[in-house]
Amino acid sequence: MKVIETINLSKIFEGVVPVHAVNQVNLSIEDNEFTAIVGPSGSGKTTLLNMIGGLDRPTSGTIKVNQIALNELSENELINFRLKHIGFVFQSYNLIPVLSAKENAEFVMLLQNIPAKDRIARVEALLKEVGLEDKMNNRPSQLSGGQQQRVAVARALASKPDFVLADEPTANLDSKSAENLLDIMHRLNKEEGITFVFSTHDQRVIDRARRVITLEDGKIISDVIQHEN
């Protein structure tokens, strides 16, 4: 099943010289994919990911998530749609410093008005899944970078999204933490069928990805299936 589709998608940043960050991209992502979007700095990876996630509006073209055109939604509709359908993992973790690991992971479900009993049960299960059952009450400052990113993965999954977008998720991690994080996400993809789409420079992520899409100057120059499911 097609979960993401872009049709002639473009993003132009205006300036003295307009920059075509994403240029007429046509792309489909199926359910249960583990896909890496790669390319040099300035190739448009993050801009593409941000548009797919509804964080940035395209200049032209269409983005569909489960057949719903994001570019046709109002700002409030888009916020609500992101909340219910899309999980995000950012390079900088984006955890709330004053909240514990448990509270950070549960934050999205709080916004969704999910009952406390259900929130707690799901968050505890997810933090156990990512190996943090003994760190639930720790704040971000009491966690290593790898542990903070695992909390971010639990938070991304808490809302049961249609897919997870991960923008350079291993960039601030040491080798061991990066490998552990990738092991967790690969297992969640394989065992629970969660769709992951990465923007990355990291060869470790690229090697694990089943599909690698290469961008250059805002255009797809190759799209390769590396491994079968």
153-166 per-position pLDDT tens digit = 999 988 888 899 99
The whole-number pLDDT of residue 159 equals: 82
Per-residue pLDDT, 91: 82
Domain boundaries, the chain: 2-225
Beta bridge partners of residue 28, listed in sequence order: 5
User: What is the structure's pLDDT at 229?
Assistant: 61
Distance between CA atoms of residues 123 and 131, nearest Å: 12
Q: Under CATH, to which class is 2-225 assigned?
A: alpha beta
What is the rounded average pLDDT of the residues 43-64?
94
What rounded mean pLDDT belongs to the chain? 91
Q: What is the pLDDT of residues 6-50, one digit of tens each?
A: 999 999 998 888 888 999 999 999 999 999 999 988 899 999 999
Residue 135 has pLDDT above 70, yes or no: yes
Residues forming beta bridges with residue 225, ordered by sequence position: 211
Q: Tell me: the pLDDT tens digits for 184-221?
A: 889 889 888 899 999 998 999 999 999 999 999 999 99
Residue 92: pLDDT above 90? no
**Does the CA dihedral 68-87-38-210 come out positive or negative?**
negative
